[in-house]
Amino acid sequence: MILLTAGIAVGGAWVWLKGAVGPIAIRQICTGEFSNGDRTTLELDQANNAAIITGIAEKREFPVRAATIGVATAIQESKLRNITYGDRDSVGLFQQRPSQGWGTREEILDPIYSANAFYDALAKIDSLDDITITEAAQKVQRSAYPEAYADHEPEARMIVSPLAGYSPGGWNCVVKEDDTLTAQEPGSSGFTERAAAVREAAGEELGRSKPDVDAAGTGLTYTVPKAAENRHAWALGSWAVARAKELGVKRVALNGYTWSRAESGDGWVETDTGLGTRDVTITVY
């Protein structure tokens, strides 16, 4: 579903009208929506982590169900926050424990590492398609409250489906402009430091590692594999929107639609971008 709603409605954004109350104040928030209109909302840090978990499943060519298991597990264990505390020595998105062989505390607090560690364990489960999400999560986590994972399955599906491109246009984040992000000059690689960080993250998290770059060094254009309803393009675009605050993303464009941080309350806006159906351009500050 393409989100073309006004900013005062999308993602639960709060807007105070100009006038006696002063300038507009916007709540920064992300929205995942099914094509039937069912939706859920996340704070920006939660969305950032959900995008990493979903992206890594994509890179590793897991079925989308694996990403749903990962996100549902992280909702239960940490509310999708990379927390530095937990039961005994548990830390991170999945509350993994160094004492149980998950890695060092520092490693586990890296969302990319912890998500890969989770999927390493999930990959060892036989007949993953034949068991429930709760059963799969419990085989990895060994939780004292295994039934709790099922409670988060509907929300996880509403997050993962648009992030993975199966609900085209169903992911939006309302993100404020950041005046502290000053312009950067491209380095010898042709990329600015910020653009290079996007290239690295897209490679590590989605396996998208070979973008073209514009003359300014700030616009990265990817050509993704062909898929029904341009799923891969929407997955990359949605990932960039979810990671916009963390990575300094200013604009995301794909065939026929643009998301702009300055107008993020409007969601994905129909635009003649001039891009092909498999192209996605991510522009940073």
Instruction: With residue 283 as reference, give the H or E element that holds it.
Output: strand 279-284
Task: Give the range among 4-13, 197-206, 229-238 with minimum mean pLDDT.
Answer: 4-13
**Percent of the chain whose predicted confidence (pLDDT) is above 90:** 81
Contacts for 252-255: CB closer than 8 Å, 24+ residues apart? 252/280, 252/281, 252/282, 252/283, 253/280, 253/281, 253/283, 254/230, 254/279, 254/280, 254/281, 255/230, 255/279
Report pLDDT for 128.
81
Report pLDDT for 58.
97
Report pLDDT for 25.
67
**Could you tell me if 110 and 96 are in contact, meaning their C-beta atoms sit under 8 angstroms apart?**
no
Handedness of CA 1, 81, 211, 69 (dihedral sign): negative
Using CA atoms, how far residue 69 sits from 122, 145, 207, in Å, is 9, 16, 20
Report pLDDT for 4.
38
Report pLDDT for 146.
67
Whether residue 62 has pLDDT greater than 80: yes
CA 208 to chain centre: 14
Whether residue 229 has pLDDT greater than 50: yes
Q: What are the tens digits of pLDDT across the range 136-182?
A: 988 898 776 667 888 999 999 999 999 999 999 999 999 999 999 99
Greater confidence (20 vs 86) lies with 86
Report pLDDT for 28.
97
| Average pLDDT score over the chain | 91
Report pLDDT for 228.
92
- Domain locations along the chain: 44-163, 177-284
Using CA atoms, how far residue 26 sits from 23, 32, 101, 267, in Å, is 10, 18, 43, 14
**Percent of the chain whose predicted confidence (pLDDT) is above 70:** 90
92 pLDDT tier (thresholds 50, 70, 90): very high
226 pLDDT tier (thresholds 50, 70, 90): very high
Whether residue 14 has pLDDT greater than 50: no
Greater confidence (36 vs 82) lies with 82
Q: What are the tens digits of pLDDT across the range 95-115?
A: 999 999 999 999 999 999 999
Report pLDDT for 78.
97
Greater confidence (227 vs 22) lies with 227
Instruction: With residue 253 as reference, give the H or E element that holds it.
Output: strand 249-254
15 pLDDT tier (thresholds 50, 70, 90): very low
pTM: predicted TM-score of the whole model, two decimal places: 0.90
Whether residue 88 has pLDDT greater than 80: yes
Q: Mean pLDDT across the stretch 48-73? A: 96
